């Protein structure tokens, strides 16, 4: 167990743990004279200046304007945030409608593709309308740089004033 170290003050000498100094006084030598303590002049109490708790008109106006600007900024921020949230909801709704319409278009296209009967169309064209496949000399070929479509900027010129219908019938 650790010994507790104690410190005592005794007649301007200190006792520190077990290392206490022993006082040796020689009898009759250096009898303490009574010394009159030196008096120091009485200290004057320092008076703290009174704090000016009042604020001037300029400070009041400045603080009022600062509070008003801060309040205005906060209100505008909340309004902009609310508008942004509303626009995000509207965008989400429009995107949902777009996906829905795209799905409806795909369904309608697939219904059209499945409902077309090419054999029926061929029968009607050849038997009722009198259409025939063109002969080899009636086919005009051309080379296109674009593989998926052709733009026609003007009418195709007729050859030797003859009618396209005449060419097909020959």
Q: Which two tokens stand for residue 137?
A: 């000399």
pTM: 0.37
Question: Per the structure block, which two tokens stand in for 49?
Answer: 């200046």
Task: Round to whole Å and give the CA distance between 138 and 61.
Answer: 95
Q: What is the pLDDT of residues 105-127, one digit of tens each?
A: 999 988 887 887 888 888 888 89
For residue 138, pLDDT beyond 70: yes
Q: How far apart are the C-alpha atoms of 63 and 60, rounded to whole Å?
A: 5
Query: What is the token pair recorded at 6?
Result: 């104690």
pLDDT reading at 131 higher than 50: yes
pLDDT digits over 58-98, tens only? 999 999 999 999 999 999 999 999 999 999 999 999 999 99
CA 129/CA 127 separation, integer angstroms? 6
Mean pLDDT value of segment 6-10: 46
pLDDT digits (tens, 9 = 90+) for 38-65: 777 767 777 776 666 677 889 999 999 9
Q: What is the CA radius of gyration of the chain?
A: 56
């Amino acid at each position: 167990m650790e010994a507790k170290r104690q410190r005592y003050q005794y007649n301007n000498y200190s006792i520190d743990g077990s290392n206490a100094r022993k006082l040796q006084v020689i009898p009759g030598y250096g009898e303490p004279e009574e010394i009159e303590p030196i008096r120091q002049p009485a200290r004057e109490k320092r008076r703290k200046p009174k704090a000016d708790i009042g604020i001037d008109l300029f400070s009041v106006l400045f603080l009022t304007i600062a509070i008003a600007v801060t309040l205005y900024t906060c209100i505008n921020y909340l309004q902009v945030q609310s508008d942004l949230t509303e626009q995000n909801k509207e965008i989400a709704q429009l995107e949902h409608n777009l996906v829905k319409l795209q799905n409806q278009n795909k369904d309608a296209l697939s219904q059209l593709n499945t409902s077309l009967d090419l054999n029926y169309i061929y029968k009607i064209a050849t038997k009722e309308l009198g259409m025939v496949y063109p002969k080899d000399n009636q086919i005009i070929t051309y080379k296109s740089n674009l593989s998926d479509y052709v733009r026609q900027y003007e009418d195709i010129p007729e050859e030797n004033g003859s009618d396209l219908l005449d060419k097909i019938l020959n």
